[in-house]
């Protein structure tokens, strides 16, 4: 049974947010990836279209999320289901770091509005 200790998690930073990677093929996962996201106050991540389903659960704080054409404020305890092909924007308009837990299948890619494709190391 693989156990990933906090001290073994790998941290990545991009677009002003921090992604702390726990479950990946590197750590023994066969199908899923999971990470903790830390979104600092005032951060607005660029819109990105995902290639695989993501389950985004907010543990701490509040965020404004736009999924395709719908914008909602989510708070701690809320879960967002992002289907493949959906475009997501995440913004933290508060003065507190928001913390999320995200799960997806291995191989996730994100396409930014300018056509740039990102293969996040925390999801592969």
Domain encompassing residue 51? 15-123
The band of 31, judged by pLDDT with boundaries at 50, 70 and 90, is very high
> Looking at the domain assignment, is residue 27 inside a domain?
yes
**What domain count does the chain have?**
1
Over range 45-49, report the average pLDDT: 95
Q: What is the 3-state secondary structure (H, E, C) of the chain?
A: CCCCCHHHCEEEEECCEEEEEEECHHHCCCCEEEEEEEECCCCECCCEEECCCEEEEEEECEEEEEECCEEEEEECCCEEEECCCCEEEEECCCCCCEEEEEEEECCCCEEECCCCEECCHHHC
| 65-118: pLDDT as tens digits | 999 999 999 999 999 999 999 999 999 999 999 999 999 999 999 999 999 999
The band of 2, judged by pLDDT with boundaries at 50, 70 and 90, is confident
> Looking at the domain assignment, is residue 21 inside a domain?
yes
CATH of residue 109's domain is 2.60.120.10
């Amino acid at each position: 049974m693989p156990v990933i200790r906090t001290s073994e998690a790998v941290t990545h930073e991009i677009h002003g947010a921090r992604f702390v990677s726990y479950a990946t093929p590197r750590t023994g996962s066969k199908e899923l990836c999971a990470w903790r996201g830390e979104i600092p106050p005032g951060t607005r991540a660029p819109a990105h279209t995902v290639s695989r389903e993501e389950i985004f659960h907010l543990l701490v704080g509040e965020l404004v999320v736009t999924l395709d054409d719908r914008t909602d404020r989510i708070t701690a305890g809320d879960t967002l289901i992002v289907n493949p092909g959906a475009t997501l924007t995440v913004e933290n308009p508060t003065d507190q770091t928001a913390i999320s837990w995200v799960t997806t299948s291995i191989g996730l890619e994100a396409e930014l509005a300018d056509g740039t494709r990102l293969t996040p190391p925390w999801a592969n």
